[in-house]
Amino acid sequence: MESVSIILVVEDEPAIASAVAARLESDGHAVTVCHDGLQAVDVCEVLVPDLVVLDLLLPGLDGLEVCRRIQADRRVPVLMLTARDAETDMLVGLAVGADDYMTKPFSPRELVARVSAVLRRVNDSSPPTGPDHQLGAIEIWRASRRIQIGPDQVHLTPTEFDLLAQLASVSPAVLTRQQLLVAVWGYRDGSGARTVDSHVRAIRRKLGDDVIRTVHGIGYALGDV
**Binding-site ranges for Ca ion (CB under 5 A):** 12, 55, 57
User: Are 137 and 101 in contact, with CB atoms under 8 Å apart?
Assistant: no
Report in angstroms how near the CB of residue 104 gets to Ca ion at its nearest.
9
In order of 149, 189, 196, 199, the CA distances from 192 in angstroms are: 30, 9, 7, 11
C-beta of 86 vs 143, nearer to Ca ion: 86
C-beta of 67 vs 119, nearer to Ca ion: 67
Strand order in the sheet with 6-10: 30-34, 6-10, 51-55, 78-82, 100-103
Report in angstroms how near the CB of residue 214 gets to Ca ion at its nearest.
41
User: Are 17 and 35 in contact, with CB atoms under 8 Å apart?
Assistant: yes
C-beta of 63 vs 223, nearer to Ca ion: 63
C-beta of 14 vs 172, nearer to Ca ion: 14
Backbone angles phi, psi at 175, to 5 degrees: -110, 140
Report in angstroms how near the CB of residue 31 gets to Ca ion at its nearest.
18
In order of 105, 143, 208, the CA distances from 135 in angstroms are: 46, 17, 12
The contacts of residue 52 (CB under 8 Å, 6+ apart) are 7, 8, 9, 10, 40, 44, 70, 76, 77, 78, 79
> Which SS3 state, helix, strand or coil, does residue 67 take?
helix
Distance in angstroms (rounded) separating the CA atoms of residues 154 and 151 = 10
Report in angstroms how near the CB of residue 5 gets to Ca ion at its nearest.
23
Nearest to Ca ion by Cβ — which residue?
57
Distance in angstroms (rounded) separating the CA atoms of residues 158 and 163 = 9
C-beta of 21 vs 165, nearer to Ca ion: 21
Report in angstroms how near the CB of residue 26 gets to Ca ion at its nearest.
23
Report in angstroms how near the CB of residue 86 gets to Ca ion at its nearest.
15
C-beta of 45 vs 55, nearer to Ca ion: 55
